[in-house]
Structure 1
Amino acid sequence: MAEGLSPATDIVAVPPEGRAQAVTAHAQGTGSIQAALSRWFAAQALIGLSLVCVAIYAVTAWSFQVKQASEFERQSELIKHLIQESRDDPGRDGLRHKLDDFFSTHAEISLVLRSGDEIIYSSAPARTSGRWVWMPMQEQPMPSGDAAMQLQLGIDVREDAKILARLAWTLVGAVVLGSAVISLTGALLVHRGMQPLKKLVQQTAATGPEHPGRRIDPAPYASEITPWVAQFNAVLDRAEQAYQQLESFNADVAHELRTPLANLIGMVEVELARPRSIEELRDALLSALEEARRVSAIVIDMLFLSKADRGTVARRSAPVSLADQVRTVLDFHEAMLEDTGLRVHVSGDARIGIDAGLVRRALSNLLSNASRYATPGSTIAVVIDTQPDGIWIKVANRGEPVAAEVLPNLFKRFFRAERSRTDSSEHHGLGLAIVAAIARMHGGQTRATSRSGVTEISFSIAPES
């Protein structure tokens, strides 16, 4: 039973300020949430504003292109109209004169007019430093039968380019300044938002075994943090309960082992105080052996409970009959039952995979407990009942009722219903605790009831998954 047990671990109490420093050091070692969130705010602001500004620039540039296309179309229609008005001018002088007049007031427009390979008119760009965009060549048919004319317009888009350049620099400045402002305000908001967590760290550091009953009030915290606070308070509850159980367990162990060890030491000292015959020494050794076996039984039971508390799962065999297991245990208790005039009635049955040795041990403990408190000559009922949550094995005896406040404690270690420990030489209060451990190892539960003079103690076995 002792194999596989982990060695005892020393528990060192850490003061609150030490825990707070440890938490701070750990946070610094793994990175700051506040710094990470601030960086993400800055990156999000930079990317978001950049995308918005790029979209603004693209829409503006597209709008200028639409305006330029519209200007090309409008100017092209005007020039075509001039050409139509001059269709009867064989020398084209009138057309050239009209075009000169037109372009004298439209320095931002340039024209190349061809008829076949001949350049009829060409207006040199008035702005040599401009930025010109030329439209594709267009043909203008002539109704008089002359060859069609090809015209090509150019527009100076220098002003549009300047506006786009200023817009680009403005947008870049807006991205930089906006990102800086959003990053700064985001860092401040994150710092402010992290204050409850820092307060929670301080309150957490101020709790622990040295402050029993102290809990963290979840009311001041946001709804996202409240579940964490509730879980932490629940952990504190379990930790305090574990400390209390540990203290109680240590006290009970010391009490249970002190008596047999004191008896053993006293007996040996008495026997060594004066010469003894062989028979007397033999009786003394038998008594010492009995006390040593009692200590050994307590230690073995404690090791078994420790193993069960670590979450050990029972090794299940092929399905067996639970009624057969009960009858096997009854054969072992037959002599004890006859001495007390008790009868046992078994009802129900079920087949399920179990650790037969453990289940028989639990049944033996329940029958011993029932025989101990049953009215002499009465009947002990063993019922095997299949329910949705598992198969329940119930052992009921008629006798003195058990107080309601005592029932929840029956499965605790070293608990005895009687105040006195006059029978502690035979019963050391671990029988029902072992039953509860075996039930847990089979995925089951335990239950105890006492009504109308009938006390029923039961445990369940969960179906195999």
Structure 2
Amino acid sequence: MRGSIAKRLALMFAMAVLLITAVSAVLLRCSLQQSLETQMHNELVLRHSVLDPLLSKYESPAVWVGVHQKLDSLTPTDERVRYWVLSDDSNYSYGGAMPDGQDRSRQPDGFSIMEVPEQHCPMVLLTKTIPAMGSRPELRFIVALDSTPFMATLSTFTETLVLTSALGVVLVALLGYWIARFGLGPVQRLSRQANSLPPGDSKQRLDTSALPHELLELAVSFNGALARQETAWCQLEGFNANVAHELRTPLTNLIGQTQVALAHERDLNELQDLLQSNLEELERMGNIVNDMLFLAGAESGQRATELSDVSLYEEASKTVEYLEPVLLDKQLTVVIEGDMRVRIDRRLFHRSLANLLQNAARYAAPDSTITVSLVSNGLQAEVSVSNAGEPIDSVHLEHLFERFYRADAARARSDAHHGLGLSIVRAVASMHGGRVFARSEAGLNTFGFSLTSESLG
């Protein structure tokens, strides 16, 4: 959902405060209500404790007039507190009929509520039974307390609580919005910095020195994306330069030979020779284009799909047999060591191993032995080709699998080879979830690739 982060944070702050305030307000109101009820009950208990002994000691109707006077004097003019004495003998009664018209002479002792028609709030009653004594019958003494002042206090408190809670929620929302905007300041600065990166300069990066921890990972990830983009652009520029360089020579040859052929009349044999030469150049260009398309697919994450369970020894033997004419020309012997069963793309495996063998045959000492090693290394299967030859400087080893890399100081290259053989080996290894490696030690130069456990049978 699109929208302002600051507004959403402010809304969440307000909702959180509203929830907390609502719960707190309910608890406070319930606490105050219980406290007010306790106060009313305590006042009723207090009045009973004062008047119950007085009523108990009056036994005759002659002295009951004093009870009337005492209760009249204790009844406020606003009748906030009222008294009733209920008895079967009218001489011992006080207070008249109950305002709600109910007969409470048989009501159990204890607290109760009485609704008064002309009042908004009820009266709280405390009823107690005074046992009979002498000629006086049993009495029901009721003390009633108007709850209006207490309920008014509760209502005022509730209104104040609601008002302050609403005001607090609004203030928290405004402050939360300001705090969120202030807290998101580094994000805005980071955004402005990203927008100010100059176009065309792939080496520019975001400054992460002053960023908070929460944004540091984001900025580092963005810088990582810029670094990967720089690498991709460098590879693309290198690809364009290499392709242009490699295609320039055959195109120049084709143009030059064609111009020379058109400058003079040629007989049929000369034209056939020209066409044969042009065909060779065109085939070379076609091979370069096909190889580059294959490498582009591998570098885009394409994986080997036509997998089958094979013996590496058997497949390597087929590849050696296919290249036997090339090996016989230099009187080279190939020895295959080890074996294992893996799930691979046969066609790609033959292509990569053939490139390694051709590379070894090209630079191996005459009458020497080329060794193909098939080794299981933990969760990986390693395929390597070793040949005796001139040592290769370590500076070049890590670059030999790059496209069109030419290390003439280490290896004299022929124009017949366009420098993609080892790059294809790396692509095949990548498509099988593996890697490539190269070593030059003890007079042996070793090139190879590995297959990860995903490819192992």
Match status 1:224 vs 2:197 = no
Between 350-359 and 199-208, the greater mean CA deviation after superposition = 199-208
Percent identity, aligned pairs only, is 34
Looking at structure 1, the residues matched to 208 and 58 of structure 2 have their Cα atoms a distance apart, in angstroms, of 91
Looking at structure 1, the residues matched to 451 and 301 of structure 2 have their Cα atoms a distance apart, in angstroms, of 16
Match status 1:167 vs 2:167 = no
Match status 1:443 vs 2:433 = yes
Looking at structure 2, the residues matched to 296 and 117 of structure 1 have their Cα atoms a distance apart, in angstroms, of 129
Q: Residue 141 of structure 2 aligns to a residue in which SS?
A: strand
Which residues of 2 match residues 152-191 of structure 1 at below 5 A? 152-191=142-181
Q: What is residue 103 of structure 2 aligned with on the other side? A: none
Q: What is residue 314 of structure 1 aligned with on the other side? A: 304
Match status 1:269 vs 2:269 = no
Q: Residue 93 of structure 2 aligns to a residue in which SS?
A: strand
TM-score (norm 2): 0.88
Match status 1:95 vs 2:85 = no
Between 161-170 and 72-81, the greater mean CA deviation after superposition = 72-81
Q: What is residue 415 of structure 1 aligned with on the other side? A: 405
- Output one character per residue of 1:345-397: Cα deviation in whole Å (capped at 9) or x when no partner: 21111101111111111101111111111111221111111122411111111
Aligned CA distance change for structure 1 residues 420 and 403 (closer, same or farther; 3 Å): closer
Match status 1:285 vs 2:275 = yes
Q: Is the 8 A contact 2:124 2:147 kept in 1?
A: no
State the one-letter code of the partner of 1:110: R
- Output one character per residue of 1:14-66: Cα deviation in whole Å (capped at 9) or x when no partner: xxxxxxxxxxxxxxx93221222223233333343333233322221121112
RMSD: 2.8
Q: Is the 8 A contact 2:316 2:353 kept in 1?
A: yes
State the one-letter code of the partner of 2:245: H
Match status 1:298 vs 2:270 = no
Match status 1:38 vs 2:10 = yes
Looking at structure 2, the residues matched to 381 and 204 of structure 1 have their Cα atoms a distance apart, in angstroms, of 54
Looking at structure 1, the residues matched to 352 and 134 of structure 2 have their Cα atoms a distance apart, in angstroms, of 121
Q: Is the 8 A contact 1:319 1:354 kept in 2?
A: yes
Aligned CA distance change for structure 1 residues 129 and 273 (closer, same or farther; 3 Å): same
- Output one character per residue of 1:86-133: Cα deviation in whole Å (capped at 9) or x when no partner: 24657744433433343359953212221249681117899x768442
Between 78-87 and 141-150, the greater mean CA deviation after superposition = 141-150
Between 436-445 and 132-141, the greater mean CA deviation after superposition = 132-141
Looking at structure 2, the residues matched to 424 and 378 of structure 1 have their Cα atoms a distance apart, in angstroms, of 21
Q: How many residues align?
A: 437
- Output one character per residue of 1:417-451: Cα deviation in whole Å (capped at 9) or x when no partner: 22699855321111111111111111111111222
Q: How far is the alpha carbon of 1:209 from its aligned partner?
A: 5.3
Q: Is the 8 A contact 1:208 1:236 kept in 2?
A: no
Between 73-82 and 183-192, the greater mean CA deviation after superposition = 73-82
Looking at structure 2, the residues matched to 130 and 79 of structure 1 have their Cα atoms a distance apart, in angstroms, of 28
State the one-letter code of the partner of 1:206: S
Match status 1:206 vs 2:201 = no
State the one-letter code of the partner of 2:95: S
Q: Residue 224 of structure 1 aligns to a residue in which SS?
A: helix
Q: What is residue 11 of structure 1 aligned with on the other side? A: none
Q: Residue 85 of structure 2 aligns to a residue in which SS?
A: strand
Q: What is residue 358 of structure 1 aligned with on the other side? A: 348
Q: What is residue 332 of structure 2 aligned with on the other side? A: 342
Q: Is the 8 A contact 2:396 2:410 kept in 1?
A: no
Residue of 322, 328, 332 corresponding to 2:322? 332
Q: What is residue 426 of structure 1 aligned with on the other side? A: 416
Q: Is the 8 A contact 1:134 1:152 kept in 2?
A: no
Q: Is the 8 A contact 1:130 1:157 kept in 2?
A: no
Unpaired segments ≥5 residues, structure 1 = 1-28
Q: What is residue 61 of structure 1 aligned with on the other side? A: 33
Between 435-444 and 178-187, the greater mean CA deviation after superposition = 178-187
Q: Residue 412 of structure 1 aligns to a residue in which SS?
A: coil
State the one-letter code of the partner of 2:18: L
Between 358-367 and 70-79, the greater mean CA deviation after superposition = 70-79
Q: Residue 405 of structure 1 aligns to a residue in which SS?
A: helix
Q: Residue 150 of structure 1 aligns to a residue in which SS?
A: strand
Q: What is residue 102 of structure 2 aligned with on the other side? A: none
Between 444-453 and 419-428, the greater mean CA deviation after superposition = 419-428
Which residues of 2 match residues 108-147 of structure 1 at below 5 A? 108-116=80-88, 120-122=93-95, 131-135=121-125, 137-142=127-132, 144=134, 147=137
Q: Is the 8 A contact 1:316 1:353 kept in 2?
A: no
Q: Residue 41 of structure 1 aligns to a residue in which SS?
A: helix
Aligned CA distance change for structure 1 residues 366 and 131 (closer, same or farther; 3 Å): same
Aligned CA distance change for structure 1 residues 146 and 344 (closer, same or farther; 3 Å): farther
Which residues of 2 match residues 362-377 of structure 1 at below 5 A? 362-377=352-367
Q: What is residue 141 of structure 2 aligned with on the other side? A: 151
TM-score (norm 1): 0.86
Looking at structure 1, the residues matched to 170 and 335 of structure 2 have their Cα atoms a distance apart, in angstroms, of 84
Aligned CA distance change for structure 1 residues 104 and 53 (closer, same or farther; 3 Å): closer
Residue of 181, 184, 193 corresponding to 2:183? 193
Looking at structure 2, the residues matched to 144 and 253 of structure 1 have their Cα atoms a distance apart, in angstroms, of 129
Unpaired segments ≥5 residues, structure 2 = 100-115
Looking at structure 2, the residues matched to 410 and 327 of structure 1 have their Cα atoms a distance apart, in angstroms, of 26
Q: Is the 8 A contact 2:331 2:368 kept in 1?
A: yes
